[in-house]
Structure 1
Amino acid sequence: MEGKKMTEKESLELITQMIQNSKKNLRLGNVNVLLLWGYLCAITALVVYVLILITGNPLWNWLWLAIPVIGFPVMHWLKKKEDKPVLTYTDKVLLAIWSNIGQYGIGISIIAAFYFDSMLLLLPIILLLCSLGVNITGSIINDSWMRNAAGCALAISVVMISHILFNPPELNFMYPAFAVCFIIMLIIPGHRLNRRHTKE
């Protein structure tokens, strides 16, 4: 038996519902995923920056490991407190995208730390990966702020890489730039989604 064909209006309603569901599933209790990772990345960047400025010791870069060490257990704890959401196709796509970005980010970090013994390219490459993820996420959930912010962060990551290639090895300005990018890419959109959710 042939399935019932959807009208154009029903198709649009279904797509809108899937987008709204994906926005809702970005939340874990009163905190959403964007805020969790945004604050972790921005605060870690600023703490590492200040400690290196004070001590002149680049070993403080090992504090970057605090991001996955704190982030993944907190996410797991928040998910345990929540009812298991119904995942739509868009949710599964977002999950696959960010899983891959996370794996590549961790892999690049390990290579930079142990093989090259340098953090020089780590910040712009991580920023490049995350800005692509945020841009795709913004496109999927129809959030223009996220798309535009990701575009700015992408441009900043390219400037960072150019600076490294042509004006090495000054790195200090990259830490605050990295923090600012995560504020505009994840923290501001996270608070906007929370405010919109509260209104709804």
Structure 2
Amino acid sequence: MAAENLNPKQSLEVIEAMISKTNRRINTTGATQFLLWGYVTVLTSLLHYSLMPYMTSIHHAYIWLLIPFVGGIISWLMARRKRHQPYSSSQIDYFINTVWLVSGLNALACSFVLGFFTLIAIIILLGSASAITGFVLRIRVLQVCSILGMAIGYGSIILDRTLDMLSYRDYSLVFGAVFFVMHCIPGHYLYAQIRRELKSTPNASVV
């Protein structure tokens, strides 16, 4: 059916179908991606916090590059393993992928800017991408965790500005905690949800 021949009700049904389709993809492939990037970030944050006292300011900054390097390699291997699986995308898929691409590239650019609040900028960028994904696809856990993660980021700025309590080293722990909230918790929830669906449909498989 041509798009120009759709009435408002039919257009709404098409949009709802695209959202449902993308929601299903996020619940499967998206769950593993949230867990992957979440735990890579958490572990890198802990590594940075542990090694920072023994390294120069320039050298310990390079530790953060483990996130795009390790996460990117694992993501590429996962995509390579699934490259022969049938997949059709919708406009909602394109929108969500574009949001993450733009946010991810900006976060990568921020990682090369040496500044005290670089980590907070990355939190806001990727937290916004998570929140947009959650609200577009109506995934409540992603909505709540994204907002909570960004609130922790903003709260740490207020805490530092008013009480001068946080050092750059402390921010690495804040960074890891935020990504645990924003990515690991939703990832586990979505993965548990898809496992429940698999139990009810034995012939299904995780994408």
Q: Which residue of 1 aligns with 2:24?
A: 24
Alignment of 1:7-18 (within 5 A): 7=9, 11-12=12-13, 14-18=14-18
Shift of 1:6: 6.7
The answer as to 2:67 corresponding to 1:67 is yes
- The one-letter code sitting in structure 2 at the alignment partner of 1:91 is D
Contact kept, 8 Å, 1:28 with 1:78, in 2: the verdict is: no
Unaligned runs of 5+ in 2: 198-207
Following the alignment from structure 2 to structure 1, what is the Cα–Cα distance between the partners of residues 16 and 184? 24
Following the alignment from structure 1 to structure 2, what is the Cα–Cα distance between the partners of residues 46 and 74? 20
Contact kept, 8 Å, 1:124 with 1:157, in 2: the verdict is: yes
Length-normalised TM-score, structure 2: 0.79
Following the alignment from structure 1 to structure 2, what is the Cα–Cα distance between the partners of residues 4 and 106? 41
The answer as to 2:95 corresponding to 1:93 is yes
Pick aligned residue for 2:183 from 177, 180, 186: 186
Change (3 A) 1:106 1:199: same
Shift of 1:44: 0.7
Q: Which residue of 2 aligns with 1:199?
A: 196
Q: Which residue of 2 aligns with 1:148?
A: 144
Deviations 1:152-173 (A, max 9, x none): 1212222233345553872232
- The one-letter code sitting in structure 2 at the alignment partner of 1:130 is L
Change (3 A) 1:68 1:4: closer
Deviations 1:25-68 (A, max 9, x none): 33449x62111111111111111112225x36543231110111
Contact kept, 8 Å, 2:145 with 2:186, in 1: the verdict is: no
- The one-letter code sitting in structure 1 at the alignment partner of 2:88 is V
Change (3 A) 1:160 1:61: same
Shift of 1:110: 1.4
Alignment of 1:69-148 (within 5 A): 69-82=69-82, 83-112=85-114, 118=115, 120-148=116-144
Unaligned runs of 5+ in 1: 113-117
Following the alignment from structure 1 to structure 2, what is the Cα–Cα distance between the partners of residues 104 and 33? 19
Shift of 1:132: 0.7
Number of equivalences: 190
Task: Indicate the SS of the match to 2:138.
Answer: coil
Shift of 1:92: 0.5
Task: Indicate the SS of the match to 2:97.
Answer: helix
CA RMSD of aligned residues (A): 2.6
- The one-letter code sitting in structure 1 at the alignment partner of 2:41 is C
Contact kept, 8 Å, 1:18 with 1:90, in 2: the verdict is: yes
Change (3 A) 1:172 1:110: closer
Change (3 A) 1:40 1:5: same
Change (3 A) 1:46 1:190: same
Change (3 A) 1:171 1:90: same
- The one-letter code sitting in structure 1 at the alignment partner of 2:108 is I
Q: Which residue of 1 aligns with 2:33?
A: 33
Alignment of 1:34-49 (within 5 A): 34-49=34-49
Contact kept, 8 Å, 1:52 with 1:60, in 2: the verdict is: yes
